[in-house]
Amino acid sequence: MFPDNLLPVFDRTDVIFEQGEGAWLTASDGRRFLDFGAGVAVNALGHAHPRLVAALEAQAGKLWHCSNLYRVPGQERVAERLIKASFADTAFFCNTGAEAMELVIKIARRYHHCAGRPERNRIVACTGSFHGRTIATLAAAGTPKYLEGFGPVAQGFDHVPYGDLEAARGAIGSNTAALLVEPVQGEGGIRPADPAYLRGLRALADQFGLLLLMDEVQTGIGRTGKLFAHEWSGIAPDVMGLAKGLGGGFPVGAVLATEKAASCMTPGTHGCTFGGNPLAMAVAEAVLDEVMAPGFLERVQAVAALLRGRLDDLARRYPGAIAQVRGQGLMLGLKTVPVNTEFNAKLFAAGLLAVGAGDNVVRLVPPLIIGEAEVERAVEIIDGVCRG
Ligand SMILES: *Cc1c(COP(=O)(O)O)cnc(C)c1O
């Protein structure tokens, strides 16, 4: 069906999108799709947002790349915005989520190394999590399916069930450096953590002198209705990875950390050739201008509540199609009764893009700029698929 010149690691749908506008995509055959996948929770401001286009175009004519051997004012500005709005004192820019999480892991190990506790190099992580596709981030998540054939598995990770505070406590030993968690598991099936669980992890980290690491690659930048999902629990991590929504579709990742956690990351201990280049920073700054504008996150919360209410209603009316609705903000999952990929294929055929996730879930992660009309249209399509 397709040319076979690409490494066949993706199970691609046979469609070519040529143009996007807001939450809508137009395919090469003229079909229009309502995009509730947003490039897997990436296009936070939808497609072709005028402010992002203008920011990219303005920077494109000036300077694309100069390396991190020199100052990049865009990095300093984006860092300032992120730090002011968070627990963090320092920021690092990279290109992807996995890269961000690699640095999160490195900071945790280095912190104890410099404190004279090099034996504290193990991280307690959760089953069902996802942190990326590099050798270390695969090991961090520990998902057997993704690790198969790629051994030897990187050392230094102990896994406990997500949401089980007692198991986390039980896994902490004299070699433990940090606890790692997603505030809402995304790939794992849109599973939100109980705020009490996150508060409990914070307390354990403090009690045992560990760092609390959060993967907000998917949940960050307004996805759950707060700038960062951990804000819902009232606690903060020591180190956090960001990516997906931060560039609104331009590849950019970031790590935020407290001064204490990052105190040992001195010149030469890390780096990234492309990270935080002027193009990426111009777009990220524009994304933050929008997402941090007064009222933006309140609107996300309101439209998310509307969508959630409609989906809960569908689940009540079609128990044979939707077993459960879960998630937070505009990061919602339908645990479907039919196989999720089949349900998702029917949504696609009816003009709605969604994304599969673990635990037989169909993920709805629309652009944060959707309005009532897009919610009603999406619900109409899902209703039609549930009716069969
Ligand atoms: C997508 C994702 C990653 C990996 O991001 P890449 O940009 O694909 O490397 C890591 N953690 C979480 C929670 C993600 O959703």
pLDDT digits (tens, 9 = 90+) for 162-213: 999 999 999 999 999 999 999 999 999 999 999 999 999 999 999 999 999 9
> What's the CA-to-centroid distance between 249 and ligand 1, angstroms?
13
At 219 the three-state DSSP class reads coil
Give the number of the atom of ligand 1 that is nearest the alpha carbon of residue 187: 15
Confidence label for 11 from pLDDT (cuts 50, 70 and 90): very high
> What's the CA-to-centroid distance between 30 and ligand 1, angstroms?
31
Looking at every residue in the chain, the average pLDDT score rounds to 98
Copy the structure tokens of residue 102: 């690699």
pLDDT digits (tens, 9 = 90+) for 111-150: 999 999 999 999 999 999 999 999 999 999 999 999 999 9
Closest CA to 74 of 291, 283, 287, 293: 283
Residue 14 predicted with pLDDT over 90? yes
Give the number of the atom of ligand 1 that is nearest the alpha carbon of residue 99: 9
Protein residues with CB under 6 Å of any ligand 1 atom:
96-98, 101, 130-132, 182, 186-187, 215, 217-218, 243-244
Does 216 show up as a binding residue in the annotation?
yes
pLDDT at 284: 98
Of 182, 185, 218, the residue with max ligand 1 atoms within 8 A of its CB, to mutate for a pocket test, comes to 218
Please state whether the predicted TM-score (pTM) of the whole model is above 0.85. yes
Atom 6, ligand 1: residue with shortest CA distance: 97
Does 375 show up as a binding residue in the annotation?
no
> What's the CA-to-centroid distance between 132 and ligand 1, angstroms?
5
> What's the CA-to-centroid distance between 353 and ligand 1, angstroms?
19
Determine contact, residues 86/236, Cβ cutoff 8 Å: yes
> What's the CA-to-centroid distance between 188 and ligand 1, angstroms?
12
Confidence label for 332 from pLDDT (cuts 50, 70 and 90): very high
Does 254 show up as a binding residue in the annotation?
no
Does 71 show up as a binding residue in the annotation?
no
Q: What domains sit in the chain, N to C, each tagged with a CATH number?
A: 52-291 (3.40.640.10), 295-363+379-388 (3.90.1150.10)
Determine contact, residues 291/368, Cβ cutoff 8 Å: yes
- Which segments within the chain are labelled E, that is strand? 17-21, 24-27, 32-35, 90-94, 122-126, 157-160, 176-181, 184-185, 191-192, 211-215, 239-242, 253-257, 322-328, 331-336, 352-353, 355-357, 361-364
For residues 118 and 115, give the distance between their C-alpha atoms in angstroms, rounded to a whole number: 8
Of 10, 43, 101, the residue with max ligand 1 atoms within 8 A of its CB, to mutate for a pocket test, comes to 101
Copy the structure tokens of residue 114: 């410099």
Confidence label for 40 from pLDDT (cuts 50, 70 and 90): very high
Report the percent of the chain where pLDDT is more than 70. Answer: 100
Copy the structure tokens of residue 238: 């020591």
Residue 22 predicted with pLDDT over 90? yes
371: DSSP letter: -
Determine contact, residues 162/184, Cβ cutoff 8 Å: no
Amino acid at 345: A
pLDDT digits (tens, 9 = 90+) for 77-116: 999 999 999 999 999 999 999 999 999 999 999 999 999 9
Q: How, if at all, do strands 239-242 and 211-215 pair?
A: parallel
Of 130, 180, 181, 219, the residue with max ligand 1 atoms within 8 A of its CB, to mutate for a pocket test, comes to 130
pLDDT digits (tens, 9 = 90+) for 270-308: 999 999 999 999 999 999 999 999 999 999 999 999 999
pLDDT at 199: 98
pLDDT at 2: 80
Determine contact, residues 122/158, Cβ cutoff 8 Å: yes
Give the number of the atom of ligand 1 that is nearest the alpha carbon of residue 98: 9
> What's the CA-to-centroid distance between 46 and ligand 1, angstroms?
19
Does 371 show up as a binding residue in the annotation?
no
Of 9, 10, 131, the residue with max ligand 1 atoms within 8 A of its CB, to mutate for a pocket test, comes to 131
Residue 1 predicted with pLDDT over 80? no
